[in-house]
């Protein structure tokens, strides 16, 4: 659990130095004194934060159901001295601390957990089971590190409140629901995050990573992909499996569509532009000797630029329709392509903010512990905070979450990869 203190120290320092580097002379007068103050602050706050982490880990809540988590953390922020508003975009929380003239720096942490059975065997492992929005009974676990993110945010609040004499400006802390379903940031923005509350000059966030604890990873510019979920309903004319000539088999058509979709990335998108089309689900038919009427496909579509996203989605529709036409499917039974309302834009880390923050981190923890990484095709709805008309510079860093001991154990097992996020075995 000591590693959580390390994460907190890093994030609290990043926020402070981001504020300082943007014109807060009082903070920057004696950085060594500031470093010592942060380190001693972490030591002082650690018992409270460890208790909070254990509570959060053992009591996870699904996306859009973060009622108790939201209330618990809102009270903590209020008790610290922040002006707190709850119920923003559902269970979102906005906490404001005004501390004189200076920039407004926003820090965001996500609150939701995943429908995953925890298999860590930890004494504080989640045993929560709930009924989800589809009426199914599911286990719930913080398998993506959001419990760590929230603990870091509360620790940052406690540290920077206690260090008010060393910085000036406005600190805006955001506890966001439903990151895992890509709707939380959208809901908070639509509920007036940038109109009811100060528009930040800069916005920061973190995410746990497979790095060693005590190290920070970063990517300047495009860091994570845009995400679209696409459904394709392939239709045909059913009949007996012994007489396929009298049918229009949607399973064969679906198979041809799946293969043809792969040519979009390989033949229509530049090799220098990352893009992904993955068919993650295919469902059709009921029995060996029956040719059914429909096949359902589910796709995830990922890219970085708006132009490539539009091209991918347009090509999916074109290929689905024309493959069906080539198979002799009547016009009134062409595939139905639905782009779900679950779009997450690509995450673009502001290079200027990245440079300032990385320099501050390197000064504090050493250049060898600040690691530049490449972009990923995973997604993150933190991106939306930088996509609004205000064009807020944003930066999400990656925080190491594995101890040296666990990494060494992995190597001893022959280099088997550590179990990471979105599995029932993840813990820091």
> Which residues, at least 6 apart from 38, have a Cβ–Cβ distance to it below 8 Å?
9, 12, 13, 16, 159, 163
- CA-to-CA dists, residue 137 to 120, 132, 140, angstroms: 20, 6, 10
pLDDT at 244: 96
Is the pLDDT at 421 greater than 70, yes or no? yes
Lowest-pLDDT range of 34-43, 226-235, 311-320: 34-43
Q: Output the pTM of the full model.
A: 0.90
More confident residue, 214 or 314: 314
Is residue 156 classed exposed, middle or buried when 0-12, 13-18 and 19+ CB atoms within 10 A define those classes? buried
**Percent of the chain residues topping a pLDDT of 90:** 73
Across 257-295, b (16+ Cβ under 10 Å) vs e yields bbebbeebbeeebeeeebbebebeeeebbeeeeebbbbb
The predicted-structure confidence for 324-381, as pLDDT tens digits, reads as follows: 999 999 999 999 999 998 899 999 999 999 998 888 888 778 899 999 999 999 999 9
To the query of whether residue 79 is one of the catalytic residues in this protein, the response is no
Query: Model confidence at 400, in pLDDT bands (50, 70, 90)?
Result: confident
Lowest-pLDDT range of 69-78, 105-114, 160-169, 254-263: 160-169
301: enclosing H helix or E strand: strand 294-303
Is the pLDDT at 11 greater than 70, yes or no? no
pLDDT at 403: 78
Is the pLDDT at 414 greater than 70, yes or no? no
Is the pLDDT at 35 greater than 90, yes or no? no
Contact 94, 174 (CB under 8 A): yes
Q: Which of 159-163, 165-169, 298-302 is the most confident on average?
A: 298-302
SS3 state of residue 401: strand
Specify the DSSP class assigned to residue 325: H
The predicted-structure confidence for 339-355, as pLDDT tens digits, reads as follows: 998 899 999 999 999 99
Is the pLDDT at 94 greater than 70, yes or no? yes
Q: Which of 112, 118, 147, 294 is catalytic?
A: 112
For range 58-65, the mean pLDDT: 98
Alpha helices by DSSP H, 286-389:
306-326, 351-365
Distance of alpha carbon 16 from alpha carbon 41, whole angstroms? 13
Distance of alpha carbon 253 from alpha carbon 418, whole angstroms? 40
Q: Longest Cα pair distance anywhere in the chain, in angstroms?
A: 84
More confident residue, 176 or 4: 176
Residue whose entry in the numeric block shows the structure tokens 């630029």: 305
Specify the DSSP class assigned to residue 282: E
Distance of alpha carbon 120 from alpha carbon 178, whole angstroms? 24
pLDDT at 226: 97
User: Which among 284, 272, 275 has a CA at the least distance from the CA of 316?
Assistant: 275
pLDDT at 1: 45
Query: Model confidence at 18, in pLDDT bands (50, 70, 90)?
Result: low
The predicted-structure confidence for 175-203, as pLDDT tens digits, reads as follows: 999 999 989 999 999 999 999 999 999 99
Is the pLDDT at 36 greater than 90, yes or no? no
To the query of whether residue 30 is one of the catalytic residues in this protein, the response is no
pLDDT at 42: 82
Across 213-245, b (16+ Cβ under 10 Å) vs e yields bbbbbbbbebbbbbbbbbebbbbbbbbeeeeee
- CA-to-CA dists, residue 425 to 117, 145, 178, 245, 421, angstroms: 9, 12, 22, 50, 8
> Which residues, at least 6 apart from 152, have a Cβ–Cβ distance to it below 8 Å?
4, 7, 8, 11, 12, 109, 206, 399
User: Which among 70, 113, 112 has a CA at the least distance from the CA of 95?
Assistant: 70
The predicted-structure confidence for 124-150, as pLDDT tens digits, reads as follows: 999 999 999 999 999 999 999 999 999
Q: How many CA atoms lie within 13 A of 14 on its CB side?
A: 33
Q: Which of 45, 118, 147, 179 is catalytic?
A: 179
Please state, rounded to an integer, the average pLDDT across all residues of the chain.
Answer: 90
E strands, 2-70, in order: none
pLDDT at 386: 96
């Amino acid at each position: 659990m000591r590693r959580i203190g390390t994460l907190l120290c890093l994030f609290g320092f990043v926020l402070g130095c981001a504020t300082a580097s943007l014109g807060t002379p009082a903070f920057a007068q004696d950085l060594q004194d500031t470093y010592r103050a942060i380190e001693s602050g972490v030591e002082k706050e650690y018992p409270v934060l460890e208790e909070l982490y254990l509570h959060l880990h053992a009591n996870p809540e699904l996306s859009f159901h973060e009622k108790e988590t939201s209330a618990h953390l809102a009270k903590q922020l209020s008790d610290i001295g922040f002006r707190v508003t709850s119920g923003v975009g559902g269970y979102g929380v906005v906490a404001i601390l005004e501390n004189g003239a200076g920039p407004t720096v926003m820090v965001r942490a996500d609150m939701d957990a995943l429908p995953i059975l925890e298999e860590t065997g930890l004494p504080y492992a989640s045993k929560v089971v709930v009924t989800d929005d589809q009426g199914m009974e599911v286990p719930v676990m913080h398998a993506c590190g959001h419990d760590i993110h929230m603990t870091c945010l509360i620790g940052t609040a406690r540290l920077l409140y206690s260090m008010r004499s060393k910085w000036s400006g406005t600190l805006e802390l955001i506890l966001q629901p439903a990151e895992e379903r890509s709707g939380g940031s959208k809901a908070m923005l639509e509920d007036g995050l940038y109109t009811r509350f100060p528009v930040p000059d800069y916005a920061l966030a973190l995410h746990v990573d497979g790095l060693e604890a005590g190290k920070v990873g970063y990517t300047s510019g495009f860091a994570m992909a845009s995400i679209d979920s696409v459904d394709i309903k392939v239709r045909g004319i059913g009949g007996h499996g012994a007489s396929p000539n009298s049918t229009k088999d949607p399973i064969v058509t679906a198979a041809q569509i799946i293969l043809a979709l792969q040519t979009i990335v390989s033949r229509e998108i530049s090799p220098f532009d990352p893009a992904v089309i993955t068919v993650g689900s295919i469902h059709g038919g009921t029995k060996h000797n029956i040719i059914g009427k429909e096949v359902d496909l589910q796709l995830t579509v990922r890219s970085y630029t708006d132009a490539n996203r539009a091209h991918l989605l347009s090509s999916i529709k074109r290929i689905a329709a024309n493959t069906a036409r080539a198979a002799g499917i009547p016009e009134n039974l062409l595939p139905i392509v639905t782009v779900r309302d679950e779009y997450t834009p690509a995450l673009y880390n502001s290079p200027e903010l990245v440079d300032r923050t990385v320099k501050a981190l390197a000064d504090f923890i050493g250049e060898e512990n600040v690691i530049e990484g490449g972009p990923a095709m995973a997604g993150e709805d933190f991106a939306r905070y930088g996509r609004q008309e205000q064009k807020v510079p944003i930066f999400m860093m990656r925080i190491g979450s594995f101890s040296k001991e666990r990494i060494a154990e992995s190597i001893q097992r022959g280099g088997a990869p550590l179990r990471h996020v979105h599995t029932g075995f993840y813990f820091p």
